[in-house]
Structure 1
Amino acid sequence: MAGVSTIKRGDSRFYVDPDDGSIKVPGVTSVGSMLPKDYLMYWSAKEAAEAAVTNWDIVSELVKRDPAGATDYLKNAHRRKSRAASDLGSAAHDYFERLARGERVLDRSVHIDVKPHVRWFREFLQEVQPEFLYLEETVWSDTHKYAGSFDAIAKIDGETVILDWKTSKSIYDSVALQLSAYRYADRIILAETGESVPMPEIVGGGALHIRPEGWALHPVQCDEAVFATFQHLRGVFDWEKDGKKGVIGKPIASGGEFVTGTQRRAA
């Protein structure tokens, strides 16, 4: 396989140009993370509070022996929850890809937590009859300097659409930004050969939401207006990573015993 490699820098993922390793561009998901997500702050606080209440006997003993450890346990509660959801989502995505490629998947080999998702994906394939053109490939934008990996491009009722599989509890509107970025990329880099092919003409997007209790295919607006917003976030990404460095210079005048935050931290 000649897939596109990625690297992590801080909290961001960068894709490495397979033809020129010196060229690295941010991933679609990392650019999308520039979007404010206030709900995550409240959700993480809720998870910490629930962990304290549910495991109060354990936490109270831990506080006596290791207060710092108790703090770490509670502040990382949301990460444990999201990691478990991410693991389930990754396992489900693997089965979705195999089924979409027409591979045989034996139910007895599927983990019990993912069996409902596999069942509903099979039903989606039977009901909608998508004709898959590309699965789990990488897009690259030479124009706007980003890359990303999409789930599927398929023909449904004769129209070419880009699809994203979602196993999370809810579908967030940021999926529109994500799909627009894939849609308006310049090319697809095929994992099998490393060859680049032009993006096909895509008429729209969809999010396939699969939960243990059922499935639903949602149309997603991912047109040029949505893509324009993604481009703004691309600019914000550059600002956060490099642009804001050095914008505040050293004092050219001062008085009293003023001490900067940097000086306090150094002390």
Structure 2
Amino acid sequence: MSLKFSEKAHRYWMDGKPVRGATTLIGNGIPKPALMPWACKLIAEWVEANPLEIERLRASENRYELVNTLKGLPNQKRDTAGLRGTAIHDMGEKYLAGLEIEIPEEHESEVMGLARFIEDMKLVPMIVEKSLGNREHWYSGRVDFIGTSPFLNDGEPVLIDWKTSNNVYGDTALQCAAYARAEFWVTDEDPDTEHPMPDIAATYVAHITSSGVYLHPLAANQVEIDKHFTDFLHAAHTAKNAETRKGYLGEPIYTPEGFKK
């Protein structure tokens, strides 16, 4: 067994062992100070907009129903956005493969914008929606697009990450660097056959919005990719050592009963 990916659980197994994805390591290794204010604002806006539902929940015999409902709103919002992103990614993959796609009305502007971007940039795919692995640093990932464009880096292979979120951030550079420095890639149909990674000249993030696609450069060359990869390794180290840090705290040597020799 080489590298297997469960789309439903969004989990990876490498050589039969669980392995964390690059995005999970980055998320657990780098603080996100904007996340808590966003969640508080989301809950406050929902409360303001749903007074009758709040009263219904407050009157429920289950004393925790109101708390659980409010607590779950950020995750619900995240999961809905994730389903939207997955759908757009899937349609983009099919378009690149030359397959016919049916575009739901709610995704029409984003998918049409992505199709226009692909055509305008004359993208030629090499690796699309495939799992990547790195044994040395023990991580995995799922790359959106590796390929070429006559308008990017003299037609050399580049890595582009599709993002359907409201905004894009610099942390994506770490994710793309981790993918660029993977040791191999596999197909879902044959996860035991490892294919070597091509040399990646640069990394980009394509922000897919209802008004079209905005392509942002991340790493302009391999030197910058290596720099971003070093940052990724720092984040991964912090994430992987979360359990170890719990052991840094010893038992109290002084209590209200006095000093323990």
Scaled to the shorter chain, the TM-score interval is 0.7 to 0.9
Shift in Å, 1:190: 2.9
Query: Equivalents in 2 of 1:155, 1:186: separation in Å?
Result: 20
- Pair 1:196-2:194 in alignment: yes
1:14–1:26 Cα contact (<8 Å) kept: yes
Equivalent of residue 186 in structure 1, options 161, 183, 199: 183
Alpha-carbon distance between aligned partners in 2 of 1:37 and 1:163, rounded to the nearest angstrom: 23
Q: What letter matches 1:243 in structure 2? A: T
Change (3 A) 1:235 1:219: same
Residues of 1 paired with 2:256 and 2:189: CA distance? 66
Are the counterparts in 1 of residues 93 and 128 from structure 2 also a CA contact under 8 Å? yes
Contact 1:48–1:76 under 8 Å retained in 2: no
1:14, distance to aligned residue in structure 2 (A) = 5.0
Match of 1:254 in 2: 254
CA distance in 1, matches of 2:78, 2:25: 20
1:264 paired residue number: none
Higher alpha-carbon deviation: 242-251 or 205-214:
242-251
Unmatched runs of 5 consecutive residues or more in structure 1: 259-267
TM-score normalised over the length of structure 2: 0.87
Residue equivalent to 2:142:
149
151-160 vs 216-225, which moves further: 216-225
In structure 1, the partner of 2:47 is 52
User: What is the rounded CA distance, in whole Å, between the counterparts of 1:83 and 1:7 in structure 2?
Assistant: 14
Specify the code of the residue in structure 1 equivalent to 2:232.
F
Larger CA deviation: 177-186 vs 65-74: 65-74
Matched, 1:99 2:95: yes
Q: Could you say if the C-alpha distance between residues 99 and 8 of structure 1 is closer, same or farther in structure 2, counting changes exceeding 3 Å?
A: closer
Query: 2:142 & 2:105 partners in 1: Cα distance?
Result: 27
Name the TM-score, length of structure 1 as normaliser: 0.85
| Rounded Cα–Cα distance in structure 1 between residues aligned with 2:250 and 2:87 | 49
* Corresponding residue SS for 1:139: strand
Residues 1:257 and 1:6: Cα distance change in structure 2 (over 3 Å): farther
**Mapping for residues 188-227 of structure 1, pairs under 5 Å:** 188-194=185-191, 195-221=193-219, 223-227=225-229
Following TM superposition, by how much is the alpha carbon of 1:49 offset from its aligned partner in structure 2, in angstroms?
Answer: 0.1
Change (3 A) 1:250 1:50: same
Aligned residue number for residue 262 of structure 1: none
Please give the secondary structure, in 1, of the residue aligned with 2:232: helix
Q: Distance in 1 between matches of 2:32 and 2:94?
A: 33
Instruction: Note the C-alpha offset of 1:256.
Output: 2.5
Please name the residue that 1:138 is paired with: 131
Task: Establish whether residue 62 from structure 1 lines up as the match of residue 62 from structure 2.
Answer: no
**Which runs of 5 or more residues in structure 2 are unaligned?**
none
Give the structure 1 partner of residue 19 of structure 2: 25
CA distance in 2: counterparts of 1:99 and 1:8, whole angstroms: 22
Report the counterpart of residue 235 of structure 1 in structure 2: 237
Which position in structure 1 is the counterpart of 2:31?
36
Tell me the SS of whatever aligns to 1:5: strand
**What letter is aligned with 1:203?**
A
Which residue is equivalent to 2:75? 79
Tell me how far 1:41 sits from its aligned partner.
0.4
In structure 2, C-alpha distance between the alignment counterparts of 1:235 and 1:190, rounded to whole Å: 28
1: distance between equivalents of 2:131 and 2:79? Answer: 24
Matched pairs, number: 246
In structure 2, the residue corresponding to 1:152 is in which secondary structure? strand
**CA–CA separation in structure 2 for the residues paired with 1:124 and 1:245:** 47
Counterparts in 2 of 1:182 and 1:127: CA distance versus 1, 3 Å: same
Do 2:3 and 2:12's aligned partners in 1 also have CA atoms closer than 8 Å?
A: no
Structure 1 residue 104, shift from structure 2 partner: 1.5
The alpha carbon displacement at 1:182 in A equals 0.2
Q: Which runs of 4+ in 1 moved over 6 A?
A: none
User: 1:127 aligned to 114, 120, 125, which one?
Assistant: 120
